[in-house]
Structure 1
Amino acid sequence: MMEFEIGYLGLLITSFLAATFLPITSEVFLVSMLVLGYDPWITLFYATIGNAGGGWFNFVIGRLGKPQWLERLKVPKNKILRWKDKVQRYGQWLGLLSWLPFIGDIMSVALGFFRAPWISSFSFILIGKFLRYLVIVALFVLGWL
């Protein structure tokens, strides 16, 4: 049984790291575990919690961020204004799209940086991550992956 515990823990950690700016893909790890016979519902749970945790981490980093950091990183003013406009227009709903590669990480940080409500932002990040992994697990269980 120890091997299963390490497997699920590995999925949790991989999913967390994949939600940060590190170039890691958790989908391959998730599908590999399913191929090896791991329980689909448990893998769905750990992948979702890990990836949502990474999204929440990004949100908190954004919340702690300071405008001076963006200046030091030489982020163009027009990009900052564009993300501010998106957060003001769509708010925490952007969290539903936080699963998207590359841009999803930026969305989570922007939600925090531009002070979107944290409870609803966290909720939408969780829902978005869950739906993404649910589709992957469902496709596998149905034999389409």
Structure 2
Amino acid sequence: MLSYLILFAASFLAATILPFYSEIFLYAMLNQGHSAALLVIVAALGNTLGSVVNWYLGLYILRFKNRRWFYFKDKQIDKMQRWFNRYGQWSLLFAWLPVGGDALTLIAGIMKVNIVNFLILVGIGKTVRYIGVIYLAHLTHGWLT
């Protein structure tokens, strides 16, 4: 049970703006013979809920844009918003990407995407990602046979 909690926490942290990788824990647990289906569920749930942190930050982040310490410039925010408006909520299916995925979830909060739509789209993308990771592990190591 503890190992599943660690996987959940690692997956949660990996979805936030913190640099963290959950695949290492997933791979190790798969190597120990844990259920692939349960690993996907735990990792996807943790990763999706971690993305909610970014969404929530996005809801309130623009309140601080006039502060000297604020990271983003107005041009960057405008560019992100135009990009999101162009590709829409469906782009959240790609929130699992290692580069740009966390930014997508933050932008979704800035754009006030409905939380239910957010959870569905991000959840689908992240679940498919973890299924892919397990599938690749199967291809390279013959697990799941």
TM-score by shorter chain over 0.5: yes
Aligned partner of residue 71 in structure 1, secondary structure? coil
Q: Between the two proteins, what is the percent identity of the paired residues?
A: 32
2:66 aligned residue (68, 71, 76): 71
Amino acid paired to 2:64: W
2:138 aligned residue (102, 120, 141): 141
Provide the aligned C-alpha RMSD in A: 1.6
Q: What is the Cα deviation at residue 110 of structure 1?
A: 0.5
1:52 aligns with: 48
| Partner Cα distance (1:117, 1:74) in 2 | 25
Structure 1 spans left out of the alignment, 5+ residues: none
Q: What is the Cα deviation at residue 101 of structure 1?
A: 1.6
Q: What is the Cα deviation at residue 105 of structure 1?
A: 1.0
| Partner Cα distance (1:74, 1:47) in 2 | 30
| Partner Cα distance (1:58, 1:74) in 2 | 15
2:82 aligns with: 85
Contact 1:56 1:125 in 2 (8 A): no
Displacement over 3 Å in runs of 4+:
142-145
| Partner Cα distance (1:78, 1:70) in 2 | 12
Amino acid paired to 2:115: W
Amino acid paired to 1:82: K
Q: What is the Cα deviation at residue 117 of structure 1?
A: 2.5
TM-score (norm 2): 0.88
Q: What is the Cα deviation at residue 58 of structure 1?
A: 1.1
1:12 aligned residue (8, 14, 17): 8
Structure 2 spans left out of the alignment, 5+ residues: none
| Partner Cα distance (1:134, 1:34) in 2 | 12
Q: What is the Cα deviation at residue 74 of structure 1?
A: 4.1
- Number of equivalent positions: 140
2:33 aligned residue (33, 37, 58): 37
